[in-house]
Amino acid sequence: MDKIKYLSRIQLFDGLELEQLHNIAPVTPANTVKRKTVIASPHMPQKRLFLIKSGKVRLYRILKSGKELTVDLLGDGHLFGEAGSFTTGSESLYAETMEDSIICTLDKERFETIVKANPEIGLKLIGIVSSRLKEVEEMLELLAYGSVRRRLLYLLYKLSRKFGRQAESAQGWVRLEIQLTHQELASMAGSIRETVTEQLSGFVSEGLIGRTGVRSPLSVHPERILKAMETCN
């Protein structure tokens, strides 16, 4: 796949004209990063904006207990990090690739050059950051006041929006194109693996999620999940 197609899939550049993408391409170099590589942390002095052209990245923080708390999962087209006064709110987090990924990094000068030539990109970044902050606030509220069931339902719904692919004649079902263990889901939902496993079994019985095999991708029904969220604390 050529560089222009990759750029057009990045949410920050979505909607730009082909000529604009061609102008941006030379200043957005990308590198292939191996799975399980930490590409950003609070201790790295040089801050950058990261654009995921292909692959998946986990954002997490390390608690005082030493445990890792997964804050967000990002895939093709997503971005995180900061460049000067531009930030996505992830500067205090660690970022680790979940699979081999193609990632572009932009420092302050390069990003400001792009924004000066394409002012609409700055406005789009504000929208992306606002949306992400809203998600974080919603999850923090659920962690403080919501039940594990509600937190897990919310998480599955958000994952379906980011990584879901709907097949023909799926009748509302979408398949999550990301493999997550029960422990990883527990980390994101602020719970323990045993509780999450029990909840997921219940979701299967309720027709909210489905899986054809132990290692097969998880399928979810977003519409049913939203209705289920309305009836739980």
Q: What size, in residues, is the chain?
A: 233
pTM for this one?
Answer: 0.81
Confidence band for 46, pLDDT divided at 50, 70 and 90: low
**Strands 174-176 and 219-220, sheet pairing:** antiparallel
pLDDT of residue 1: 47
C-beta of residue 142 within 8 angstroms of C-beta of residue 151: yes
pLDDT tens by residue, 158-199: 999 989 888 666 788 999 988 888 988 998 888 899 999 999
pLDDT tens by residue, 113-151: 888 888 888 888 888 878 877 877 787 787 777 899 999
Give the separation between CA 35 and CA 152, rounded to whole angstroms. 26
pLDDT of residue 95: 92
The more confidently predicted of residues 106 and 1 is 106
Percent of the chain with pLDDT over 70: 91
With a cut of 50, say whether residue 89 has pLDDT above it.
Answer: yes
With a cut of 70, say whether residue 200 has pLDDT above it.
Answer: yes
Average pLDDT of every residue of the chain: 85
Domains by residue range for the chain, with CATH: 3-136 (2.60.120.10), 146-230 (1.10.10.10)
Tokens of 181: 């263990």
**How does 154-192 read in b/e, with b if 16+ C-beta sit within 10 Å?**
bbbbbbbebbbeeeeeeeebbbbebebebebbbbbbbbe
